[in-house]
Structure 1
Amino acid sequence: MQENRLWVADPRAMHVILQKAYDHFHEPPSVLAWLQITLGNNIVSTAGSKHKVQRKMPVFTEIAYQVEDIIARKAWENESNSGVVDVASWMSNVSLESIGQAGMGHRFGAMEKDQIEFLQALHQLLPLINRMWYLHPFIATLIKLGPTSFRRFVVDHLPFGPAQALKNSTDVVDHTANTIYKKKKSAFGNGTLDSEIAAGNDVVSMLLKQSETLSGEEQMTEEEIVAQVNGLVFAGHDTTSSALARTLHFLTQYPDVQDQLRKEVQEAHRQHGKDLDYDQLNSLQYLDAVCRESLRLAAPVKRIQRVAGADWNLPLQHPVKAKDGRTELSSIHVPKGTHNYLSIGAINQDKELWGEDALEFKPSRWLQPLPNSLSESKIPGVYSNTMTFSGGTSGMPMGDEEIIWVATGVAKPYARGKDGEIDVARKPVLPLKVTVLDRSN
């Protein structure tokens, strides 16, 4: 059960692992096995459809307005124009509703309900998997024992709390995904997809359309499409909600940034009206800089893991000293089976790449040329010379579009203070004191 482990924060080594030698560095079998158990098989990238989904701005606009209203009501409850709002909880709902509408053409109603069974089940998956850490070395083998019906029978009769809880949460997630699929399939059959949310440009609708053009064996099965629904929500929900919350948290810590951002957003609304279109939104340079800087400093995923499928020599951009303290190494030999942990946080905050102010929240860095050290490094990320969306597909991630829209909505009429208080709880919370500056805005 012992394994070789390597912590990687060198740009050139990361480039080899994630791009140049991609076929030789794989996700750990245990991770893939747990994903198969909880989400299903064949979770695929959605690069082909993301661009069209991103440009469906009305989805994010509506949700941003709902966030405005919710925060305003909370602030007005005590008639002082100020109130404490648990931003972490609401950003979780915002993330689910955004992914649901733009990614699946489905309305969860997360902005109208405090408790959603699907969201609660989704939040339980990773904690329950982590509680069964002792199964990680064996899970890839266990899921191959007998047919699915046999494994289900064993789990149903297993007197083990975490396993039963994971089964129940998985059933809720799977039932929801199946419901969405059947609704979409029915709309596809009667020709009403284009009249639904996202106008038929969501991922599930596109999978149905694409599958219809393929021959029998190439068509995606119901199980495979349901897996795409599960994978889309699982991959994007927690990361996006975390990024949203941390962006708002940074704004409370830097009032000058908050003021400058508010002025830019208000000016855009004065020029273009209440609803900004895609191009108008992307023209807001300071808003874009704030989002980029937040994602750089507070990447939702701190590290990714890859296992070497063959012996490999990893080249280093920054040579390191050997154990003897004298020999300088420009590459590291990685034996087959080595678990490589790629630190996203470390490379996003590396002073050799970003400069001495790498640890500071400084949106203005994005309004001027970045250091030459960044352009000269082969950082294998797809977003702004960072590793924040290292596993994403080409183009701007949909999660970043959500962050921009929600930040636009809440930056315009509100100020957020740092003195929000909330009782200690065993769950993620981010209490912010919110003050409405202009009720008419």
Structure 2
Amino acid sequence: MLSLPSLMSPVLNVLLFTGKALAVLSFLLIARAFVWLVNLYLIAPKRDPLRHLPGPEGGFLESHFNQVNDPDISPEVYADWTTRFGKTLRYHGYGKHDYRLMSFDMRAISHIVQSSNFQKPWQTRRYLGRLLGRGVFNLEGAEHRALRKIIAPVFTAQAVKGISGVYFQKAEELCDRWDSILSTDDVKTLDVAHWASRLTFDIFGLAALDYHFNSLLEESEAVYCAYREMFSISDRSSQLRVLKQLYLPIVERIWPDEGDRSTQRCLKTIRECGMGLIQAKRQAILAEKLDFQSQEKDLLSLLIKSNLSAEASIQLSDKEILDQLTSFLFAGSDTTGFAITWCLRYLSLYPDIQQRLRDELANAGTDANADAIDALPYLDAVVRETFRFTPSVHGTIRVATADELIPISSPVTLRDGTVATDHIRISKGSFVHIPIEGINMDVDLWGPDARAFNPDRWLQVAPDSQEPVGGPAQPFPGIANLMSFSFGRASCPGWRFALLESKVALATLVRQYKFAPEPSAEIGMLNAVMVKPFVRKEGRSASDGVGLPLLVSRVHEGEDKVTTH
């Protein structure tokens, strides 16, 4: 019979071996972490060619993210940095070890946004993919090129104008709502940000999906509510929560918090409804025996028809089509809604510009169609100036996927006193910040009044040129030198949609209403994926106060016109 010690001996040996193995594994992990930290903080920075570039200084763990990302101070920061360091510089990301490139040199920017060696960081793509799926805005490489080819017919000038009736319909519906609110008042305070968001969401529903969200009438439709809740959660997310979602997504699956559960519930609602719409639309198209000449002009119909016409090897699945529609809704609804909002804000601040625009619209007549609205020069100038002055996205990030030489047109004085005249070097893995707002307000590109809202800059066209006098010679004709829509392979595919939708909405509203600032509301800018307005209130965060109240009153017949221009 075996004794107890003889039975325990193998167990003890196993435990002892396991303990030693765990100790060795722990030591290796600690050693690996130590080597990684030494390389990150001490070795890699000394090998980074960006260390030679001029730029602001900072402490060991000091970051310049606040200066770069806060719209309240970033215009002054950009002006200061370009004055001190030139057009191309470096700043600190998460600390002195984290050099990041920033350039206002359009030759460098053109190379970066058009080269396949510069892509959106995986962090950006994962964050967007979590909410939007595998859409055109967060894919790269061959997948991105294939998607761009499939969706291109959806956003041609003809296709966009073909659905313009929806713009007019919903803009008039908004006016009906405002008329009912103003029925007993000469003037009323309205949150134009909230109303513009509802307007563009309804327009997208009909123009893209042939679906009635009816959010202008009542904010109760399930998909609309799901989107609003999901993006509200995203706006309120702390940096720690975002880092958890990016680097530890398993935590969200194993131990979801209330925000995680709400987001998943919203996504389920959106997917179920979206898949139903796609399947019903495809069946309707196939029932017509692929009659691609039918009168259906919503983007979903056009996308499905384009997809069915494509080669089988590149056709999209229903889920992939849904991901594109979700991405379009995110990129094309609130971005345009906030553009309309900011435009009304500037019209309220500059009543002479507002009246001049109203005069142009009055001369065009109330029965003007999309072509006539699109051709109004001052309306076009006001809308483009709004997109320039307050771009929907404050800035964007790219990461180098290979060592690169970036061409430059403005010399860069390096930290050792030598001057780079042709190019600068960047290493694989380095981040590049593209300061969209900063480029849009660069005095070298837009003139000495670059930081002023001045629609006339778009009317001062040199002979035989389609560019504003003093404006940038950028390689993206058709969107009139607006960095707001980017250019090259990553340009916004829906820029025509956004411009025409904004023009129709503003033409309809400015004809019928006057806008003035709400004296009691101090308006600030919030950079939360998109540039949003908020009301500054003590004790509240910016995301809690998103909105833009204005004093709104009716335009009465026979009111005096401003004729000073």
Distance, in Å, in 2 between the alignment partners of 1:298 and 1:179 is: 37
- Relative contact order: is structure 1 or structure 2 higher (C-alpha 8 Å, sep ≥ 6)? 1
Q: Would you say 1:110 and 2:215 are equivalent positions?
A: yes
Distance, in Å, in 2 between the alignment partners of 1:283 and 1:237 is: 23
Deviation at 1:382, TM superposition (A): 5.6
Match of 1:328 among 416, 419, 426: 419
- Aligned residues of 1:347 and 1:386 also touching (Cα < 8 A): no
- Aligned residues of 2:227 and 2:266 also touching (Cα < 8 A): no
Match of 1:432 among 541, 546, 550: 550
Match of 2:364 among 264, 268, 272: 268
Match of 1:351 among 443, 448, 451: 443
Distance, in Å, in 1 between the alignment partners of 2:476 and 2:414 is: 26
How many percent identity over aligned positions? Answer: 26
Which amino acid counterpart does residue 82 of structure 1 have in structure 2? V
Distance, in Å, in 2 between the alignment partners of 1:323 and 1:71 is: 59
Deviations 1:291-348 (A, max 9, x none): 1111110111111111101111222233233224x43333321111111110111111
The corresponding residue for 2:5 is: none
Distance, in Å, in 2 between the alignment partners of 1:266 and 1:398 is: 24
Q: Would you say 1:383 and 2:500 are equivalent positions?
A: no
Q: Give me the TM-score of the superposition, normalised by structure 2.
A: 0.68
- Aligned residues of 1:382 and 1:394 also touching (Cα < 8 A): no
The corresponding residue for 2:201 is: 96
The corresponding residue for 1:121 is: 229
Map residues 210-225 of structure 1 onto 2, 5 A cutoff.
210-214=306-310, 216-225=312-321
Deviations 1:393-412 (A, max 9, x none): 56852111111011001111
The corresponding residue for 2:511 is: 412
Distance, in Å, in 2 between the alignment partners of 1:70 and 1:194 is: 38
Counterparts in 2 of 1:84 and 1:397: CA distance versus 1, 3 Å: same
Match of 1:171 among 258, 268, 271: 268
Deviations 1:376-426 (A, max 9, x none): x33558621120111435685211111101100111121111125468471
The runs of 5 or more residues in structure 1 that have no matched partner are 143-150
Distance, in Å, in 1 between the alignment partners of 2:240 and 2:269 is: 19
Deviation at 1:40, TM superposition (A): 2.2
The corresponding residue for 1:75 is: 182
The corresponding residue for 2:63 is: none
Distance, in Å, in 1 between the alignment partners of 2:206 and 2:239 is: 30
Q: Would you say 1:14 and 2:128 are equivalent positions?
A: no
Q: Give me the TM-score of the superposition, normalised by structure 1.
A: 0.85
- Aligned residues of 2:374 and 2:500 also touching (Cα < 8 A): no
- Aligned residues of 1:289 and 1:364 also touching (Cα < 8 A): yes
Distance, in Å, in 1 between the alignment partners of 2:290 and 2:552 is: 40
Q: Would you say 1:53 and 2:159 are equivalent positions?
A: yes
Distance, in Å, in 2 between the alignment partners of 1:192 and 1:411 is: 44
Q: Would you say 1:134 and 2:226 are equivalent positions?
A: no
- Aligned residues of 1:194 and 1:200 also touching (Cα < 8 A): no
The corresponding residue for 1:291 is: 383
The corresponding residue for 1:400 is: 499
Distance, in Å, in 2 between the alignment partners of 1:193 and 1:108 is: 27
Which amino acid counterpart does residue 188 of structure 1 have in structure 2? I
Deviation at 1:224, TM superposition (A): 1.1
Distance, in Å, in 2 between the alignment partners of 1:107 and 1:439 is: 34
Distance, in Å, in 2 between the alignment partners of 1:24 and 1:315 is: 14
**Secondary structure of residue in 2 paired with 1:318:** coil
- Aligned residues of 1:84 and 1:434 also touching (Cα < 8 A): yes
RMSD of the alignment, in Å? 2.9
The corresponding residue for 1:147 is: none
Distance, in Å, in 1 between the alignment partners of 2:329 and 2:240 is: 22
- Aligned residues of 2:155 and 2:493 also touching (Cα < 8 A): no
Match of 1:249 among 333, 337, 345: 345
